Amino acid sequence: MFKKGSKIYGILNGVCPVCHEESMYMNKNPYVLTEALSMHERCSNCNTKYKMEPSFFYGSMYVSYGVGTAFAVAAFIISFVFLGSNLKVAFGAIVATMIAFMPVIMRVSRNIWINFFMHFDKEKAKK
């Protein structure tokens, strides 16, 4: 659906933002919590340095606020509107969702953040 070369593909798969050839993360599974945020220094395919400046990924905290809110709103709508729960249960559903999806939220935020600054490059992808 989302092909290589589109931002959405890069964000959802956590691949190198420039060539979309390999994962930025050491371990593709975000639920291995000790490695959830350990990333490769550079792309082995196109040699892009992911951490363009010191503390680069601190900025992804701003993105994670938005992503987290999106998950919370989704949890609320599903439990309150579709499942017809009361407000207390809906609140519990939001808390549970935020905890359960924390590794995913952190990674998606990083992926969105790096994709603000780097763009897909066809030339590098073919190498």
Which residues of the chain form contacts with Zn ion (CB under 5 A)? 16, 18-19, 43, 45-46, 48
Residue 117 token pair = 């600054």
Residues β-bridged to residue 39: 25
Which is nearer to Zn ion, 11 or 18 (by Cβ)?
A: 18
| Shortest Å distance, C-beta 14 to Zn ion | 12
Q: What residues contact 88, with CB distance under 8 A and at least 6 apart?
A: none
In the complex, the smallest distance separating the C-beta of residue 64 from Zn ion, rounded to whole angstroms, is 23
Compute and round to an integer the Cα radius of gyration of the chain. 17
Taking the least distance from each CB to Zn ion, the nearer of 62 and 119 is: 119
CA distances from 97 to 26, 60, 68, 102, 116 (A): 25, 20, 10, 8, 26
Nearer to Zn ion, 16 or 63 (CB): 16
Nearest-approach distance from CB 54 to Zn ion, in angstroms: 21
For residue 17, the minimal CB distance to Zn ion (Å) is: 8
CB closer to Zn ion, 16 vs 105? 16
> Tokens standing for 122?
């066809």
